[in-house]
Amino acid sequence: MTGNDVRVPKLRFPGFTELWKRRKIGDYYFFKNGLNKGKEYFGQGTPIVNFVDVFHNRGLTALELKGRVRLSDKEIKNFEVGKGDLFFTRTSETIDEIGYPSVMLDVPTDTVFSGFVLRGRALNDDPLTNVFKRYVFFTQSFRKEMINKSSMTTRALTSGTALRAMNFNFPSDKKEQSQIGIFFGTIDSLIEKQERKIADVKKLKEGLLQKMFPKNGELLPEIRFPGFYRTWQKEEFSDLLKRRTIFSSNDSQNPRVEYEDIISGEGRLNKNLDNKLSDKNGLYFQKNDIIFGKLRPYLQNWLLSDFEGVAVGDWWVLHPIQINARYAYSFIQTAMFREVSNITTGTKMPRSDWKLVSTMKVPFPSPEEQAKIGEFFASIDRLITLNECKLEHLQQLKKALLQQMFV
Q: How confident is the model at residue 248, as a pLDDT?
A: 82
CB atoms within 10 A of CB 391: 17
Same domain, 23 and 160: yes
Q: How confident is the model at residue 2, as a pLDDT?
A: 43
Domain with 352, as residue range(s), is: 233-364
Same domain, 161 and 26: yes
Same domain, 133 and 276: no
pLDDT tens track for 163-220: 999 999 999 999 999 999 999 999 999 999 999 999 999 999 999 999 999 998 889 9
CA atoms within 13 A on the CB side of 178: 3
Mean pLDDT of 292-316: 96
* pTM for this prediction: 0.86
Same domain, 26 and 163: yes
pLDDT tens track for 39-51: 999 999 999 999 9
3-class SS of residue 190: helix
What are the helix and strand counts (H, E) for the chain? 11, 28
Same domain, 146 and 243: no
Within-domain flag for 277: yes
Q: How confident is residue 274, by pLDDT bands cut at 50, 70 and 90?
A: confident
pLDDT tens track for 108-120: 999 999 999 999 9
Is the confidence at residue 250, as pLDDT, over 90? no
Within-domain flag for 342: yes
Single out the residue in 123, 144, 170 at which a domain terminates. Answer: 170
Same domain, 164 and 258: no
Within-domain flag for 370: no
| CA–CA distance, 152 with 391 (Å, rounded to integer) | 33
Is the confidence at residue 1, as pLDDT, over 60? no
CB atoms within 10 A of CB 239: 14
| CA–CA distance, 235 with 124 (Å, rounded to integer) | 75
- Could you tell me if 9 and 406 are in contact, meaning their C-beta atoms sit under 8 angstroms apart? yes
Same domain, 161 and 244: no
Is the confidence at residue 266, as pLDDT, over 90? yes
The partner residues of 168 in beta bridges, in order of sequence, read 23
Q: How confident is the model at residue 251, as a pLDDT?
A: 65
Is the confidence at residue 286, as pLDDT, over 60? yes
Within-domain flag for 182: no
| CA–CA distance, 207 with 223 (Å, rounded to integer) | 11
Q: How confident is the model at residue 253, as a pLDDT?
A: 82
- Residue 274 CB burial class (10 angstroms; 0-12, 13-18, ≥19): exposed
Single out the residue in 145, 170, 195 at which a domain terminates. Answer: 170
Closest by Cα among 41, 52, 66, 73 to 116: 52
The pairing of strands 112-113 and 42-49 is parallel
Please report, for residues 12, 175, 290, the alpha-carbon distance to residue 16 in angstroms, rounded to integers and kept in the order given. 7, 9, 57
Within-domain flag for 382: no
CB atoms within 10 A of CB 311: 24
* Calculated CA dihedral for residues 338, 318, 326, 355, nearest 10 degrees: -30
CB atoms within 10 A of CB 173: 14
Same domain, 50 and 136: yes
* Three-class secondary structure assignment of 222-267: CCCCCCCCCCCEEEEHHHHEEEECCEECCCCCCCEECHHHEECCCC
- Residues 314, 320, 321, 322, CA torsion sign: positive
* Calculated CA dihedral for residues 93, 99, 104, 105, nearest 10 degrees: -110
Single out the residue in 347, 364, 381 at which a domain terminates. Answer: 364
CATH of the domain at 292: 3.90.220.20
Same domain, 112 and 244: no
Within-domain flag for 384: no
Q: How confident is residue 279, by pLDDT bands cut at 50, 70 and 90?
A: confident
- Domain count across the chain: 2
Q: How confident is the model at residue 278, as a pLDDT?
A: 81
Direct distance between the N- and C-terminal alpha carbons of the chain, in angstroms, rounded to an integer: 14
Mean pLDDT of 286-310: 96
Average of per-residue pLDDT values in the chain: 95
pLDDT tens track for 151-162: 998 899 999 999
Is the confidence at residue 294, as pLDDT, over 70? yes
pLDDT tens track for 341-377: 999 998 889 999 999 999 999 999 999 999 999 999 9
Is the confidence at residue 6, as pLDDT, over 70? no
Within-domain flag for 153: yes
Q: Per mean pLDDT, which of 173-177, 250-254, 269-273 is the most reliable?
A: 173-177
Within-domain flag for 194: no
Same domain, 263 and 157: no
Same domain, 259 and 118: no
Same domain, 265 and 143: no
